[in-house]
Structure 1
Amino acid sequence: MRTQVGIIGAGPAGLLLSHLLHLRGIDSVVLEARSREQIESTIRAGVLEQGTMDLLIEAGVGARMQAEGALHHGFELAFEGKRRRIDLTGLTGHSITVYAQHEVIKDLVAARVAADGAPRFGVSNVSIHGIETDSPSIRYQHEGETHDLQCDFVIGCDGSQGVSRAAIPQALRQDFERVYPFGWFGILCEGVPSSEELIYARHERGFALVSTRSPNVQRMYFQCDPKDSVDNWSDDRIWAELHARVDSHDGRQVVDGKIFQKNIVGMRSFVSTTMQHGRLFLAGDAAHIVPPTGAKGMNLAVADVRVLTRALSAFYTENRMDLLDGYSETALKRIWRAEHFSYWMTSMMHRIEGATPFEQQLQVAELEYVTTSRAAATAMAENYVGVAVA
């Protein structure tokens, strides 16, 4: 079998890239280890930057996002028993939409199926060959048979544990990583929203985040030991913790509900450079990971795809390699900016084990500054809605 672009991974990056290439008349095949049901039912948060929203609409896959997503013009920072609002739209002219990642995946899969470009689900034993030649290939097994997919380019969108990054020789890569000593305890619950917008809370007991998944389903998190177990947390204990960290002195409180999902996720920052070697290019979590505090994960994947789409289109329409050659350099400008913002938000909002009272007061002073200085609030808002990097 032959195609122009072989894509490994049917997450947001792989699916969106395949769809954007299709709109430009470029053939691709997407390979995915999981089933369609699995990728569409794995619940993950989704805060979409303005640029991500615009691209989905432009690509014809944003209708449900516009109809069902929650458009937010700001968010609240809670600390010292008070809440202060960052006016995203007032400060930047842009906004964000809360629309879960698995819903984006559903929209993209539907678009690919409608265009006869459905991913090959349930593949296994994937390996990449010949990336230093003009004719790389992807070998995989599907329904008991071995297949070789011949292509011009291989795009690795298979996440941090996939085969793509490992196909770049270690001597040519430099990996940067920071593992945080805390995690997030997440819940999904039935009930009405606690706030019209997201609440990021800093408390001496630790960070908390309150967000809305739908009018009747809410998503909340609080900082915890990443080695803790959900079995140690009764519903009553969870709600007591959230109330302690988020409720404000003016009487505004978190709204309790019936909890139907609990999980604990670790926090880390990671960047692998280079993001390309020969005819292999990495996008999304295959190349970089951010802690979710800055809401950048899916948006960075979409930004990678935007750059790759432009570069691949230039190759096929103008026989140009310069944009592909410069892919890593272009993408990493935005990636490092987002990594810094996510690190800064994480460091400012979380309880840092071993921090002195002096250091704790510095966190409060930083929050006071970004919520009272228009210049500081604007910088935060610009980063949150998405900084454009040429």
Structure 2
Amino acid sequence: MKTQVAIIGSGPSGLLLGQLLQRAGIDNIIIERKDPAYILSRIRAGVLEQGMVDLLREAGVGARMDREGLVHDGFELAFDGRCERIDLKSLTGGQTVMVYGQTEVTRDLMEARQAAGALTVYDAEDVQLHELKGERPYVTFQKNGERVRVDCDYIAGCDGFHGVSRQSIPAETLKVFERVYPFGWLGVLADTPPVNEELVYANHARGFALCSMRSPTRTRYYVQVSAEERVEDWSDERFWEELKRRLPTHLAERLVTGPSIEKSIAPLRSFVAEPMQYGHLFLLGDAAHIVPPTGAKGLNLAASDVSTLYRILLKVYREGRTDLLQRYSAICLRRVWKAERFSWWMTSLLHKFPDTDAFSQRIQQTELDYYVGSQAGRQTIAENYVGLPYEAVE
């Protein structure tokens, strides 16, 4: 088999890159070790930055998002028993965010790829990347008992933190930056109306809480738990009671509870691998970086990686600008580290750490009070939350 770009992984970043390339006439094959049902079963993020919304529209897959997604002009910060609204639209010159689940983004991209007749190989076993620094890179994998080889110009590693792409780069070539947080998020999905029409991020002495949603009738709530907690120890009743304790009274009183559809605990970590390219291999999304979900940046960072690589490859194939390939990592990492900073800041400000005493709690509340009490502070939060602009590729 032969293609121009071999994409490893059929999550949203791999599918979005494939969709953009396909529409531009650049041939690509997606190689995925799981099956489609597994890909669609993963419950993930649901807040899309303005830049990602625009990119999905550019890729021709924004129709259902625009029809069913919820445009949010702001969000609430709850602390010290009160709520403060960050008006994203007015603070950023009209930018907003879109509440639309990652599963739905993935479904839209899968359907578009199928309609275009583009090839995705699912259930590929023993995927290996070869000659990454040679003139002719290629990918091999096992499928139905046969060894398959795909020759290509470039390889896009979109296969996540545990995937083969980053592991194919010599360890001595990579510099890894990591912070593992001593807590996780216990999340519950329920068919109940949202407690608030916009997201609520709550700082409380008992720990962080987040009120989110997937639709006007489906909600996603989180409470901070210790890293040792087990999801089996949390009944629905226990979860709802704990969530109520962490919300301001007016929100707790109107919280509608119900049976959970899905319940899980997600650990929190910050992770960056540098550089994000090695020869003909380019890392995108979780293969290169992970952020704690507090700033809603994980999926959105993957989208900005996709945008950067797509625009570089456009110039490579249309203008012969192979010099731009060496700029991929530097362009991406500038935005990655700014998003890492914002996610770390939000995490530090809203969570209870093991050493959070009464003094530290007051410092957190005062820091929040300082930022929301200043136009410049509110603007800083807003411009980071809607997403910093994508760097031009020139």
| TM-score scaled by length of structure 1 | 0.98
- Name the counterpart of 2:7: 7
Amino acid at match of 1:255: V
- Which whole-Å CA distance do the structure 1 matches of 2:212 and 2:390 have between them? 28
Structure 1 segment 123-272 matched on structure 2, within 5 A: 123-248=124-249, 253-272=254-273
User: How many angstroms does 1:34 deviate by?
Assistant: 1.0
Structure 1 segment 272-291 matched on structure 2, within 5 A: 272-291=273-292
- Which whole-Å CA distance do the structure 2 matches of 1:275 and 1:119 have between them? 24
- Name the counterpart of 1:344: 345
- Which whole-Å CA distance do the structure 2 matches of 1:250 and 1:268 have between them? 29
Change (3 A) 1:156 1:250: closer
8 Å contact from structure 1 (residues 76, 200) kept in 2: yes
Deviations 1:79-115 (A, max 9, x none): 1111110000011120001111011000101111111
Amino acid at match of 2:3: T
Over the matched positions of the two proteins, sequence identity in percent amounts to 51
Q: Secondary structure at the match of 2:105?
A: helix
Q: Secondary structure at the match of 2:76?
A: strand
- Which whole-Å CA distance do the structure 1 matches of 2:20 and 2:306 have between them? 9
Structure 1 segment 26-45 matched on structure 2, within 5 A: 26-45=26-45
Deviations 1:51-70 (A, max 9, x none): 10011112110011111111
Amino acid at match of 1:41: S
- Which whole-Å CA distance do the structure 2 matches of 1:230 and 1:40 have between them? 22
User: How many angstroms does 1:263 deviate by?
Assistant: 0.6
- Which whole-Å CA distance do the structure 1 matches of 2:249 and 2:364 have between them? 18
Change (3 A) 1:353 1:253: farther
Q: Secondary structure at the match of 1:164?
A: helix
8 Å contact from structure 2 (residues 186, 224) kept in 1: yes
- Which whole-Å CA distance do the structure 2 matches of 1:250 and 1:134 have between them? 60
8 Å contact from structure 1 (residues 175, 273) kept in 2: yes
Amino acid at match of 1:109: M
User: How many angstroms does 1:169 deviate by?
Assistant: 1.1
Runs of 5+ unmatched residues, structure 2: none
User: How many angstroms does 1:389 deviate by?
Assistant: 4.5
- Which whole-Å CA distance do the structure 2 matches of 1:162 and 1:271 have between them? 15
Deviations 1:347-376 (A, max 9, x none): 000001112322221100111122221110
Change (3 A) 1:110 1:250: closer
- Name the counterpart of 1:112: 113
8 Å contact from structure 1 (residues 246, 254) kept in 2: no
Structure 1 segment 356-367 matched on structure 2, within 5 A: 356-367=357-368
User: How many angstroms does 1:45 deviate by?
Assistant: 2.2
Change (3 A) 1:255 1:171: same
Deviations 1:301-335 (A, max 9, x none): 00001000011111111111122110000000000
- Name the counterpart of 2:62: 62
| TM-score scaled by length of structure 2 | 0.97
- Which whole-Å CA distance do the structure 1 matches of 2:81 and 2:253 have between them? 10
RMSD after superposition = 1.2
- Which whole-Å CA distance do the structure 1 matches of 2:146 and 2:326 have between them? 35
Amino acid at match of 1:153: Y
- Which whole-Å CA distance do the structure 1 matches of 2:321 and 2:242 have between them? 56
- Which whole-Å CA distance do the structure 1 matches of 2:134 and 2:37 have between them? 36
- Which whole-Å CA distance do the structure 1 matches of 2:150 and 2:14 have between them? 16
User: How many angstroms does 1:172 deviate by?
Assistant: 1.1
User: How many angstroms does 1:225 deviate by?
Assistant: 1.2
- Name the counterpart of 2:96: 95
- Which whole-Å CA distance do the structure 2 matches of 1:103 and 1:249 have between them? 32
- Name the counterpart of 1:78: 78
8 Å contact from structure 1 (residues 226, 265) kept in 2: no
- Which whole-Å CA distance do the structure 2 matches of 1:250 and 1:2 have between them? 57
Change (3 A) 1:250 1:166: closer
Amino acid at match of 2:378: A
User: How many angstroms does 1:24 deviate by?
Assistant: 1.1
Paired residue total = 390
Q: Secondary structure at the match of 1:155?
A: strand
Deviations 1:148-204 (A, max 9, x none): 000001110000000110111111110000000000000011211111000000000
Runs of 5+ unmatched residues, structure 1: none
User: How many angstroms does 1:252 deviate by?
Assistant: 5.1
Amino acid at match of 1:69: G
- Name the counterpart of 1:19: 19
- Name the counterpart of 1:372: 373
Amino acid at match of 1:174: K
Change (3 A) 1:30 1:291: same
8 Å contact from structure 1 (residues 189, 218) kept in 2: yes
- Name the counterpart of 2:301: 300
Instruction: Report the more deviating stretch, 281-290 or 40-49.
Output: 40-49
